[in-house]
Amino acid sequence: MPEPADRRYGPATLPRSRGPVSAAVLDALRRPPHDLPAGLGADLDPADPITDEDLQLTLFLCYELHYRGWRGVDEAWEWQPTLLALRAEAERPFAAALRRLVGAPPVPAAGVAAGLAELVAADDGPPLAATLQRHADLTQFREFVTHRSVYHLREADPHSWALPRLGGPAKAALVEIQTDEYGNGRLDRMHAELFRRTLERLGLDTGYGAHLDAAPAVTLATNNLMSLFGLHRRWRGALLGHLAAFEMTSSLPNRRYGNGLRRLGLDEEATRFYDEHVEADAVHEQIAAHDLCGGLVRVEPALAPDVLFGAAAGLAVDRLFAAHLLGCWAAGRSSLRPPAPPALPPKVSLVASPEVAPPALV
Ligand SMILES: [Fe+2]
Ligand SMILES: [Fe+2]
C-alpha cells in the first residue's frame, strides 16, 4: 500500500454531499470514470445559486479536479465529458446570478483603472474586518480562518490560470504579483505556507481542504467564482479584474485581522500572514490596477467591461460572505456548517435513539 500523499498539499478528502446532485457526483467520483446519469443537471436551477449548498458543492467538486484532484479519485475524471457537461449546467445559473447581482458596471472615460477605483470606493460591505479587529472572540476568529482556509491554502492558484493566456504587459504584471504570492520561490515565504502557520497557532487542521465540510455555500462561492473565471479563457478579463479588486481591498483589512489576533494574545507567527499582506498588497494594488488590468485593456480594449464585471462580482460575493458571518454571530450561532452527526453504533435502531438530536442547520 503506497504512503498517502502529504495531507498538507492535497489532494483533499472528498467532502460530504449537500443534496441530490452533489451526492450523485460524489458517488460517481468514487468509481472509475463513466458517464453520469442523463438529466442530473436538471435539478440545478435554485432560486439563489450563490447560497445553494448543492450547486456550490457540485461546482467545487468539478473544479477541484483541475487543482489538486481528490484523494482516491481517478485523475481521468478531470476531462470526463458528461462531468464537464454537468459543470457547464451548474455554471450557467451561477454566472447568471452574478450578473443579476452586479449588472454591467460602466467603463468610465478615464479608463479601467479609474473604473476599478470607483468600484472599490463604492464598496461599503459589512464591517467584518473591523469586527474581527475589535470585538470577535477567539472562537469567531477561528471560524473566520476556517472559512478562509479553503482559499488561502492554495493562495494565488486560481489567478495563475491566466498566465498562459496573456502576453505582454499584463503577463509581466501578473508574474510580478504571483511571484510575491509564491514567496519568490521560497517555500517558507509562500503565502499559503504563512497561512498554514496561522492555522497551526490557532490549533486548526492545516491539511489542504481539511475544512471543506465546514464551509457553507457562500464560502465555496467565493472560491468557485475564481475557478469559473480562471478555467475559462473567455473570462480572463474578469479574472484579472477579480484579482485587482482583491488586491485593492486587502491592505487595510489585513492590518485589522493582524491587530485582532494580537488583541486576542496571538503571537507574531500567527499574524505574519496578515502582516505580510499589509505591505505587499499596498504595492500589488497599484500593479494590479494599472499594469495588469490597464495593460490588458491597452492590448484588448474589448475586455474592459469584463474586467469591471469580475471586480464587481468579487466584491459583491465577498460582501455576501461577510454578511453571512456577521449575521450568524449577531444571532449567536456558528457561521460554519455543523459537523457530521455521530455514527450510530451497530445494532442500535434508528427509532430507539430519539436522544440523538440532529445539529441545528446553519
Ligand atoms: Fe497573498
Ligand atoms: Fe497580494
Distance 11 CA to ligand 1 centre (A): 21
Distance 191 CA to ligand 1 centre (A): 5
Instruction: Tell me the three state secondary structure of residue 12.
Output: strand
Distance 80 CA to ligand 2 centre (A): 34
Residue 217 confidence (pLDDT): 98
Half-sphere exposure of 111 (CA within 13 A, CB side): 12
Residue 5 confidence (pLDDT): 61
Take residue 35 and report the three cell numbers written for it.
458517464
pTM of the predicted protein model: 0.93
- Among all ligands shown, which has an atom nearest to the Cα of 286? 2
- Rg (alpha carbons) of the chain, rounded to whole number: 21
Please state, in angstroms and rounded to a whole number, the distance separating the CA atoms of residues 318 and 169: 28
Please state, in angstroms and rounded to a whole number, the distance separating the CA atoms of residues 43 and 309: 27
Please state, in angstroms and rounded to a whole number, the distance separating the CA atoms of residues 174 and 331: 41
Please state, in angstroms and rounded to a whole number, the distance separating the CA atoms of residues 196 and 253: 19
Angle CA 113–194–323, to nearest 5: 60
Instruction: Tell me the three state secondary structure of residue 38.
Output: coil
Distance 342 CA to ligand 1 centre (A): 37
Distance 283 CA to ligand 1 centre (A): 12
Residue 352 confidence (pLDDT): 42
Distance 177 CA to ligand 2 centre (A): 6
Residue 4 confidence (pLDDT): 56
Distance 156 CA to ligand 1 centre (A): 7
Q: Residue 346, preceding bond cis, omega within 30 degrees?
A: no
Distance 159 CA to ligand 2 centre (A): 11
Residue 43 confidence (pLDDT): 79
- Among all ligands shown, which has an atom nearest to the Cα of 245? 2
Q: Is there a contact between 51 and 18 (Cβ–Cβ < 8 Å)?
A: no
Distance 250 CA to ligand 1 centre (A): 9
- Among all ligands shown, which has an atom nearest to the Cα of 177? 2
Take residue 105 and report the three cell numbers written for it.
458596471
Distance 174 CA to ligand 1 centre (A): 13
Q: Is there a contact between 198 and 254 (Cβ–Cβ < 8 Å)?
A: no
Distance 244 CA to ligand 1 centre (A): 12
Please state, in angstroms and rounded to a whole number, the distance separating the CA atoms of residues 114 and 265: 40
Distance 278 CA to ligand 1 centre (A): 10
Residue 12 β-bridge partners: 70
Distance 173 CA to ligand 2 centre (A): 12
Instruction: Tell me the three state secondary structure of residue 166.
Output: coil
Please state, in angstroms and rounded to a whole number, the distance separating the CA atoms of residues 237 and 262: 38
Half-sphere exposure of 334 (CA within 13 A, CB side): 17
If you write DSSP's letter for every residue of 126-162 in order, what string do you get?
Answer: --HHHHHHHT--HHHHHHHHHHHHHHHTTTTHHHHTT
Take residue 265 and report the three cell numbers written for it.
494574545
- Among all ligands shown, which has an atom nearest to the Cα of 194? 1
Residue 355 confidence (pLDDT): 41
Residue 353 confidence (pLDDT): 43
- Among all ligands shown, which has an atom nearest to the Cα of 250? 2
Residue 341 confidence (pLDDT): 78
Distance 227 CA to ligand 1 centre (A): 17
- Nearest residue to 197 (alpha-carbon basis) of 153, 143, 132, 252: 153
Residue 70 β-bridge partners: 12
pLDDT in tens for each of the 362 residues of the chain?
444 568 999 999 999 999 999 999 999 999 999 999 989 998 788 999 999 999 999 999 999 999 999 999 999 999 999 999 999 999 999 999 999 999 999 999 999 999 999 999 999 889 999 999 999 999 999 999 999 999 999 999 999 999 999 999 999 999 999 999 999 999 999 999 999 999 999 999 999 999 999 999 999 999 999 999 999 999 999 999 999 999 999 999 999 999 999 999 999 999 999 999 998 998 999 999 999 999 999 999 999 999 999 999 999 999 999 999 999 999 999 999 998 877 777 655 454 444 444 444 43
Distance 339 CA to ligand 2 centre (A): 32
Distance 160 CA to ligand 2 centre (A): 13
